[in-house]
Amino acid sequence: MRFTPEELEAARDRLVPDVAASGLRVLFCGINPGLMTAATGHHFARPGNRFWPALYAAGFTPRLLRPAEQEELLAHGLGITNVVARATARADELTAQEYREGGRLLAEKVARLRPRWLAVAGVTAYRVAFDDKRAAIGPQERTLGGTRIWALPNPSGLNAHWTPTTLAQEYGRLRAAAFAEDDGA
């Protein structure tokens, strides 16, 4: 589906519902919805965003899902939310205050839904939202109750120093950790 610039701009500040349920294996968390996501109502909807290919390449899904198929994630114990709910054209339109408030609301959501892992797709967003300036890609020491946290690279095509291969490898590290828990249980 193609949108005019005017249609995309009209999606600014829209909210996009989470794809979430209690007890997920991994709750993926984007920075905030882009205008294409807000216009379609589907997370990571911009062509060129590498979230869906990374999920598939890492083995989270049995096939490459399209953004319009996002609800299928629930059957795999996966979900999607965002640090900041409002849609913008670029993440740099968000304020530090919005990130911090988003982190507070996200902590409440995690306490309610209790996923095993919260995977924040954007280490810089994670750093600001949770006031952790030294956070790096990978598992974090901080937990939210019993939920472990993993900072992932942002899958945006603008994050070019992470290639599709290296993105898939990092998402694969998370998948291995999330599924290893079942081996010992």
The set of catalytic residues is 32, 43
In whole angstroms, give the CA distance from residue 116 to residue 27.
8
The answer to whether the CB of 7 falls within 8 A of the CB of 35 is no
Note the helical H segments in the chain: 5-10, 35-40, 51-57, 96-113, 123-129, 164-184
Instruction: Give how far Cα 148 sits from Cα of 19, 64, 138, Å.
Output: 19, 26, 11
Rounded to 10 degrees, the C-alpha dihedral 28/31/37/41 comes to 60
Number of H helices and E strands in the chain, helices first, is 6, 5
